[in-house]
Amino acid sequence: MDDCIIIGGGPAGLTAAIYLSRYHLKIRLFDCGSSRAGLIPCTRNHAGYPEGIAGLDLLAAMRAQAEKYGTVREAAKVTGLSLVDGGFAARVGDRDLQARAVLLATGVVNHRPPMPDDLHDTALAQGQIRYCPVCDGYEVTDTRVAVYGTGEHGAREALFLRSFTKDVTLIAPDRHTLPAAQLAQLDAAGIRRVNGPAGDWALEGGRIAVSTAAGRLAFDSLYPALGSHIRSELAVAVGARADGSGCLEVDDHQRTSIPGLFAAGDVAKGLDQISHAMGEAGVAATTIRNMLNAETPLWR
């Protein structure tokens, strides 16, 4: 039986792996290769990289660091989690692997606009599609920006981006349905509202273009505000509490409602940022170490 199984190979999972390996614990990390961080062309707000770093490069460096200290990493997907005597069992293929503790760092998956995958991925790599104004709002300063969405989430994102540029358009997938208070906020900020249906996406002249009820429009960057899927199913299946969106509820030490089951990063409630995920992972890993030590002293 391992000391800890980590599910997820993004910044949270890899940070926890580094900590736990350096605590001389026997851990196993499962990485299905779909960390959102790997989609970041270049993050420029991660401390220590003044020129920025590509998400894939950051993950590769973290993997190398974890493996240097003994992390066993498998490129595989965990499809089930169950409670067993003394801990947990993770289902991987036709294997059931057991550990005294589990850290879930499975993150989230953004809902994409309805466009071909190759167009989406090209636009994302070139900065014409962006998903995180907290991360890269600076990069769209004084440019023409669209937010694709409506409702509270879309309006909130458009208002957030307004502090970087005065040229913000909120495009509804179909039609806007916004309460009077939000309409007043958008009007006060000078944010244009355009109804859909939105479609016929394309890259035109270095911009992302879309057809709307107001005609053909083009923007330097588009922020989808369509929500996301929180990958918390494994924890919920064993009884862990989650909020209405699916985010796992954790305490100040990243403990879920199930003893021995921890969560860190975007799958837990909190700010979806690399630095925040790494901080949560450090807290979780140290709490796991202390919990295991209380059960059986980790003397060498």
Query: pLDDT value at position 177?
Result: 86
Given this model, what pLDDT does residue 271 score? 87
- pLDDT at residue 269 tops 90: no
- Main-chain dihedrals φ then ψ at residue 292, nearest 5 degrees: -65, -35
Given a cut of 90, is residue 270 above it in pLDDT?
no
pLDDT, tens only, 29-82 = 999 999 999 989 999 999 999 999 999 999 999 999 999 999 999 999 999 999
- Using a cut of 0.85, tell me whether the model's pTM lies above it: yes
For the stretch 202-246, pLDDT in tens is 999 999 999 999 999 999 999 999 999 999 999 999 999 999 999
The pLDDT tens digits for 152-171 are: 999 999 999 999 999 999 99
pLDDT for 156 equals 96
